[in-house]
Structure 1
Amino acid sequence: MNNSTLANTTLLDLDATKHAFADMVNITTLNSTTTCALSPHARAVSSVLTGFVGTILTGLSSGSHVVSMVSWICWFPSLRIVIVSFYQVYSVFRLDLPEGGEHFFKFLDQFYHHDLRGWHNEFFRGAVVAQVSFLGWMGWIYTTLYSPTIQVMWLQENWGEASTGLKFARAIGVGVAALPSTFDTRARYGQALGRIGGWPAAWLFAALTAASTTTLAGVLVIELGLVASELAESAQGDVIFVLYVVYTLFWTYHSLVFASPHDEAKDVSGGVRILAGAVTGAFQGLLVAAPAFGVMMSAPDHPGVGLSAYLRCEGTTWWQKLVAILP
């Protein structure tokens, strides 16, 4: 072999090596991208937990009656949550505690002249207590401090990734998190803080409650808005949207009639009542989580990876991993 042939062979080998290295880099990049993305199936896991865990915590902290009402309304909760959040913010800016009851009806009188008091059903207010409890505090922390944080993070991570069905299922879970404060305002908890830390402590409690309800209302409206915009591209989208709006108006009116906000809740102390709340919450949780579970079971395993591999991925931030698993 002469020098010219040897040089040409060497150049060809170097060129082949360069292309092989480039292909290896591309494959590595592709694998890195793929392994650091949740599959559609795994993406729905946290939304299943959101509905199920949320109803159990509501049953434990607020009792079986409230969790039954929450599961009834959570499919069409947006307008009720928006109205009550506006009431809470309005009260806070007026330096009032949003106590609910007659205070809430007076707020409505400024905007709606049909008196709801005469239609109010005493069934919701039967056998109630006006005391603070450890489980009540747990429910407030979950609704006010935890849920707004995790729901905003989930929306940020899944804005363009979640399917239409998953966004709607997640909106149901957000409703479960926000609705308890629209039934039991827990103003008595703020008053208990006020007896310890003075009026500023009570006002801060009310402000945090109002801020959390407003945040969850915003997340819920955004998710439903994304669903509506995506459905608009389908042939039946307009019909589904109109039906949803009609049912939302119906649900909101009747839920405010039969279960308007009040600063009281049924007694959940004692082993039997706590067990009843947990069991009712678990049963209702199966119904509430059913849409998210259906989305999860029908979603494909690819592209992307399962939850376990995603949590081990080095290219994923800690908050993305939290969003993937926390309800």
Structure 2
Amino acid sequence: MILWRASPEIVSVEIEPDPAAPGQRVSVVVVTTDARSVAGTLGREELRFDRAESSPNEQAWRAVHQLPRDAEPAEWTVTVTAGGAVAEEPFTVGAAGVSRITGFVVTPTSVDDGAEILTFTGRLATESAERVVAVQFRPEIDLAWRDVVFAEAGERGRFEARAQAMETGRWRARLRGTAPATSEEVRVFVARGLKRSRFVGYAVTPSTVSQGRAVTHTGRLQWEKSRNAAGKITKWRSPGTQPVSSEYGASRSSYARKAGGTTQSNGRFVISTPVSKSGYWKVTFGGAGGFGGAESGGRKVTAG
């Protein structure tokens, strides 16, 4: 019997503090699925990652690195690899403004059906020009925060967004960039959650391409099949033919749909999209038949 092992996926990369001052110690936390080790670089320096925490479905890895005292104020990049998965996360070296997110409220906080819609409200006070707030979700048995929906703060800083309550977990609002801020967390209980979907082995090739030429998106969509008593998903299955989409964003905080495709009977997909400028790409699945939506990690493509 041939056993198929899922390819590692990089779920999230968080860098604290951001911005970081020259000479300051920077912490890089990476959350993965199905990874046995993680490697990375900060600029030209190697990062050493140790496993910090594990959950039934994910692994968290942490590296600490001290910036040079003469580090040039600019946008820097952390590059992380786990198996064949690669992720790049920018952060700023320099002075930060002051930002706060207050009064973050989620309604309702207890629902009976995973298809119910939640409403998020709050207020952003910031010295930064950035006004887009990411509403993030963390399932109870996972480690990574995932961007779910984005909201733009108005003149008085008020923002509002809506998203689906797929399973029990915690929600927060976060402003990133040159004046980061994070709200308090709010737990939402979902009595009958949707089953989990995920992408594995997602890749975009080539990573550098001439303007106007196409890149190819490949990977595999999977649906949860079974869990053990601890809540760990022990088996995944192929969903058959399902619609998936490729999305592009000039930054990781804002994506727009560019092309659609359909998975094969084994869940694999191939989507081709032309590239007009540098940015990030991901694939998404909207959910179906009692299974929630899924999105891959972002992959950077440079247009020459």
The TM tier, using the shorter chain, reads: under 0.3
Larger Rg: 1
Report which structure shows greater RCO (CA 8 Å, sep ≥6): 1
| Structure ranking higher in helix proportion | 1
| TM-score after normalising by structure 1 | 0.22
| TM-score after normalising by structure 2 | 0.24
| Structure ranking higher in strand proportion | 2
